[in-house]
Structure 1
C-alpha cells in the first residue's frame, strides 16, 4: 500500500487565483499561502475548474455555496502554531517550513542509500523544538514532485511509487495561469487589443455607410431595371 496526503499545493503561480473574477482566491506575497475569502466568493466555481490538482471543493450543502480548501492553517499562526497536520504527524511524513528548507530535506533523503539509518525531523523544519528520531531510509523515486511541476509549488512530495499512482498528475513545467496571463497582458497591454478591435469595427462601419448624395435616384433605378 502507498498513502498520500492530498491538500492544496500552494502553487507559485496558482490557476485558481488567476481564474477567480472577484479575488476571493489570493496568494499572500509574504507567506505564499493561497487563501480563500468566503465573503468575496460568488460561487462561480471557476477555481474548481482551473485547479489541475482538483483541490478546491464546492460545498453544496452550504446555503451560500462556499469553497473548501487547505490554507495551511493560517488561522493558527497568531497563537504560535502552524499547520496542524505537520504539528501532530508522529513520523514526520508531513513537515512544515520554508520551501527552500523542505527542498533541501527532500534532496538529502534522495541522496541516501535505501535501507541506511538516518535522522528524520518532525514538526517545523524551519524552527521549533528538535523532535527528530532515527529511522531507515525508504526507496524513493528520484524526483521531488512540485519542484518544477506547473511552475513550481510550495508543497513538495516524495514517493516510493509512481506519483500518478497516488493521484499526482503529470504536469508541464509552465503553469496555465502563466500562459494565459502572458497572452492577456500582451494583447491588452497599452490597450493594444481594444484599439485594434475598435479600429477594425470603425473601418467596417465606414465601408457600409452610404451617403444620401451617393444614393441612386428613382430614374436611375428605373434605367437600371
Structure 2
C-alpha cells in the first residue's frame, strides 16, 4: 500500500521558524567570531634575540658533501641508496633519515661555477628553523616545538601520533615521515641540539672545510651576510669557519663571489634562522618564493574566525539539527497517518 505523506501549513510555518532560528544563531555566531578574530588574530612571530642558526654561502660550497656525512653520523641515521650497486650513501633529497643534503644546479655547458647560463652551483637543503614555523602551528599534540630562547624547532617522538600535519604544513618540504617506523616518526634537522652539552654545535658547520656552512647566533650571521654582500666581487676577504659566535678562530682569506643582492631567510616567511647567500637566482637553485608573512599566522587567524564565538560548531550543529528534525518529522507524520488508517 502506498502511503502519501502530507504536510500542513502549520508544519511548514514551524519549519520556517526553525530554519530562521538556525540562520539567526549562525549570524550571531559570525558576529561573535568576527569580534573574537579581531582580538585573537596575531602578527607573525619574530626570531628570539638569542636565536641560533646557520649561514650557508653557496659561492663557498665545493659540493664535497662532508656536511651530509657528518649529519648522518651525528644523528645515527642509516645510509640511503639511489644507485643499483648500493655502494655509497646517495640520498637524492631529504628524508626521514637524511636531514641535510647538497643539491646541484646545472645549466648549459656547466663550464663555470656559479654561472646561471653555462655553469653550475650548489644549494644546501635542511630545516630553516622558521621564526614562525607552520609545523609547530599545525601539530595537534605539540610534538613540534620551538625553543623560546634558541628558536630551534625541535621534535619529540614520544608525543608524535604520526598524523603528518607538519609534513603538509612546511613550505620547504622538510619534515619527512619514516614509513618503516612501527610507531610513526618524523625526521628533520634540529641543529644538533643533542650535542650542545658535549661542547659541540651543528655537525654540518663543524666539518665544512670552506666555511660555506657557518653556525652561530642568527643576529651575528645576518651581520656577516650583509658584510659579504657589500664586498666587491673578485676582491679578497676573511671568511670565518665553524662557529661565528664563539670558539676557535678558523678563518682564512678567500675571493669574493658575485652575490645575488639578497639574503634568503632574512624576510621570507616572516624570517628564518637559517640564512642563505647565492650567486644564482634563489628560485633556480630550488628555494621557493615566499612572502614576508608566515602561513601559521594566517591559518590561526582563519581558525579563530571560524571557531571564535563557536561560529563553526553553531553553524554545523544547526544544519544537522534541521536535517534531522525534517527527516524525523516526515517519518512521524507517515506513522501517524498509517496508525489512523488502521484504527479506522
TM-score, scaled to structure 1: 0.85
Cα displacement string for residues 109-166 of structure 1 (whole angstroms, at most 9, x for unaligned residues): 0000001010000111111111111001001100000011111111000011011122
Relative to structure 1, the CA distance from residue 111 to residue 203 in structure 2 (aligned partners, 3 Å threshold; closer, same or farther) is: same
1:217 Cα deviation (Å)? 12
Alignment of 1:161-180 (within 5 A): 161-180=280-299
Aligned to 2:300, the other structure's residue is in SS state helix
Relative to structure 1, the CA distance from residue 218 to residue 190 in structure 2 (aligned partners, 3 Å threshold; closer, same or farther) is: closer
The separation in 2 between residues aligned to 1:53 and 1:5, in whole angstroms, is: 12
> What RMSD over aligned residues (CA atoms) do the two structures have, in Å?
3.5
1:205 Cα deviation (Å)? 9.7
The separation in 2 between residues aligned to 1:189 and 1:101, in whole angstroms, is: 40
Cα displacement string for residues 63-97 of structure 1 (whole angstroms, at most 9, x for unaligned residues): 22211100000000111111010111111100111
The separation in 1 between residues aligned to 2:252 and 2:136, in whole angstroms, is: 39
1:210 Cα deviation (Å)? 9.6
Larger Rg: 2
The separation in 2 between residues aligned to 1:55 and 1:108, in whole angstroms, is: 29
Alignment of 1:109-120 (within 5 A): 109-120=228-239
Select the structure that is richer in strand.
Answer: 2
Aligned to 2:122, the other structure's residue is in SS state coil
Aligned to 1:164, the other structure's residue is in SS state coil
1:188 Cα deviation (Å)? 3.8
Unaligned 5+ segments in structure 2 are 1-119
Unaligned 5+ segments in structure 1 are none
Aligned to 1:165, the other structure's residue is in SS state coil
Relative to structure 1, the CA distance from residue 13 to residue 211 in structure 2 (aligned partners, 3 Å threshold; closer, same or farther) is: same
The separation in 2 between residues aligned to 1:159 and 1:182, in whole angstroms, is: 34
Aligned to 1:156, the other structure's residue is in SS state strand
Q: Could you tell which deviates more after superposition, 27-36 or 57-66? A: 57-66
Q: Could you tell which deviates more after superposition, 179-188 or 6-15? A: 179-188
The separation in 2 between residues aligned to 1:84 and 1:189, in whole angstroms, is: 45
Aligned to 1:3, the other structure's residue is in SS state strand
Higher RCO (CA 8 Å, separation ≥ 6 residues) = 2
Aligned to 2:253, the other structure's residue is in SS state strand
1:184 Cα deviation (Å)? 2.2
**Displacement over 6 Å in runs of 4+:** 195-225
Relative to structure 1, the CA distance from residue 212 to residue 7 in structure 2 (aligned partners, 3 Å threshold; closer, same or farther) is: closer
1:26 Cα deviation (Å)? 0.7
